[in-house]
Structure 1
Amino acid sequence: MIPWCVLALLWLSSLCPGTLSCPALCKCYPRTGEVVCEGTLSEFPSEGLPKGTTMLTIQFTNITFISEHQLNAVPLLEGLHLYGNNLQNLSSHLLRGTPRLTTLDLTGNKLSHLPKDVFSHMKLSVLVMKNNLIENADAEWFPDNSNLTWLDLSGNRLKSIPAALLQKLPHLENLDLSLNRLEKIPANSLNQLTELERLDLQDNKLTTLDASAFQRIQNLTYIFLSRNRIKLPQNIFDGLDQLKHLSLDDNQLSHIPPGLLDQLTSLEEDGLDLSVNPWLCDGKLEYLWRWLQKNKEKAYLPESLTCAGPQPLVGRSVMSLTESELNLKS
C-alpha cells in the first residue's frame, strides 16, 4: 500500500506541475510560470528550473557569468530579469536558446564590455542595461531593423553613442542615455527613430545639439536635457507639436533664441522646466519674458526663474520684471 503522505505529494504535483522541482534559494510559481531566485547563489540555477518557466528573476546574487547552455534550461522564457548581481561577462550567443525572450533586464551589474551580436535575438523588444560599467556601445550588438522598442543605457560610462547603432532601431519608442558622459549626439543619428516618444539625455556633458537633431522624430512626447551645458539652436524644436514635457533645467542658459518655444503647442501644465539657469535679464530676454506672461501655467515654478545679472536685477524673478527694467521699447 502506498503511504498517504506519498499520495498527498503526488496529488499536489498533479495540481501544480513543477511544484516539487525548484532550485535552492528560488521560489517557483507554476501557475504563472514565474521563478524568483536571490541570495548567495554563485552559479545560474539551471538544475531544477521548471521547463515551463516563462518569467525568471535572479537578483542580488554572486553570479558573475551566464552562458547560452545554462539558459537552454528554460526554452520558453519570455522575460529575464537579472538585477543587482555580479555579472561581468555575457556569452556571445547568450539568447540563441530562448527564441521567445522579449524582455531582458541587466540593471546593476558589473558589465563593461559586451561581445558582438550579443543581442541579435530578433524578438527582443525591451533591453535594460542601466547602472553598469559600459564605456563603449557597439553597433554590432543589434541586428538590422531590430525589434527593440525600449533601450535603457543610463548610468554607464558612455562618452559617445554610435549613429550606426541608433540607425538599427527604427521601432524604438523609449531611449534612455542619462547619467553617462556623452559629449555630443552625432548629427542625423536620431533620424531613423521615427517612432521615438521619450528621449532622456539628462546628466551628461552635452554642450550643443545639431539644429536638425529632432527633425525626423516628431512623435516625441518627452525630452529630458537637464544638467548639461547645452546651447540651443533657434529651430531645434520645430515640428514637435506633440511634445508634452521638456526639461532644460540646470543648463547654464542665460537667454533662449526668439521663437524657440512657439512650436510647442502641446506642452502640459508644468511641462517646461527652465529652473536653475543663470538668466541675464537684458533686452535679449524679451522673448522668454513675453512667452512666460502668456504661458505661465506651462512653466514649472515660473516664479523661481531669477536674474543672475545685471547687478541691479540679481535675484529678481523674471516674471516680475517690467519693460523698462528690460530696456524694452513699448
Structure 2
Amino acid sequence: MSKSPEMVWLDAIESNEKGDREAALSLAEEVVSQDEGHSDAWMGIAQWILPTDSRGRQMMPNLSQASKSISALRRVVDLDPENEYAWRLGGEILVGHLGMMEHALQWWEERKGVAPNDVVPYFEQVSILVRLGYFDEAKGCLDDLDEIVSSQPNKSLENRVIRLRGIFEEQSSMEEEVGFSPQNNKDDSWGMINRMRKKKPITETYFLLMFVMPIVFLLGSIAMMFFSEMRYGTAIVMLFIIGLYFWVARLSRRLLLKLNRPESFLNRALDFEACSGKVCIPDDIRSSKLYSFVIGNRMPAFQERIVLIEESGEQLPLKWELSHPTA
C-alpha cells in the first residue's frame, strides 16, 4: 500500500533534518506528483533544489537550480499567498540570480495585491527601476511608499525610506548629468565605457587610501600645529581628524561614483541583456578587462544566462523599453 502525500512529506522533512537533502528533494517531488496543491512540499522543493553551504562557504545556485527554484516558488505563492518568505526568496532569485527584472517587477506587484501594506515590494521595485535608469517610475513608487509609511509611523522604517530616497536622488542627479540607454549603440556613454575597458573600477578602499587619507593627513597636520600647545590639544586634534575623515569621505563619494560610472553603466547594459534576452554590448567591450571584472561579480546563474543570450546573437532593438506594471 502506497503512502499518503502527508506521510511522504513527513519522510521528506525527516530526511532533511538528517542532512540528506537529495532524498528530501526526491520525496518532496513525489509529494507534489500525488498532490499538486501541497504548498509546503513545493516550498521544500524551492529550498532543497538550492545548494547547501560547503565548509562554511555559501554556494550559489546554477541556472538550472535557480530556474527550478523560482518555478516551485511560483506554485507556493499561488497556493499560499501569505508565505512572506517565498515572496522574498523569489524576488532574490529573479533579480540577483536570473536577472529577470521585468518578471521581478511583476512579482512584487502581485505581492502588493496580497499584502497592500507590505513595504518590501516598494523598496524592491524602486531598487530595480533605479538600477535600470527608470527614474520617473521609481519616483512614483517612492511616493506611494511615503504614503504607506505615513499611515503606519515607524522610526526605523522612516529612516530606511530616507536612505532609499537619498540613493534615488543621488543616482537621479548623476543621470541628469550623464545618462545611458544601452539599447542605443550610438549613445555617447558607450564611448566612456570603451575608454575604460582596459581598467578595473576603483575600489572604495583604494580611493580612501589614495585620495581621502592624504587630505585628512594634511589637514590634520595643520591642525596639530595650531592646537599642539593647548591643553587637551591632542584629543582635540584626534576628534577633528575623525570628524574630518567622515566629512571628506562623504563629500568625495560622488567623485568615486563618477569615476566608476563606466562600471555602473556596463552593469546596466548587462541587466538590459538579461531582461530582454538580447545582446547590446559590443564585442570589443565584452572581451575587455572591465567586462570580465563586472561579469565576474555576478551570480553563476546570471553568468550562464548571459552566455546563452550572447550565443543567440539577437540584437536588442533601439526602441526596446522595459515592460513594468508600475507605469
Same structural fold, with TM-score higher than 0.5 when normalized by the shorter chain: no
Query: Which structure carries more relative contact order (alpha carbon 8 Å, separation 6+)?
Result: 2
Larger radius of gyration: 1
Relative to the length of structure 1, the TM-score reads 0.30
Q: Which has the higher helix share?
A: 2
More strand by share: 1
TM (normalized to structure 2)? 0.30
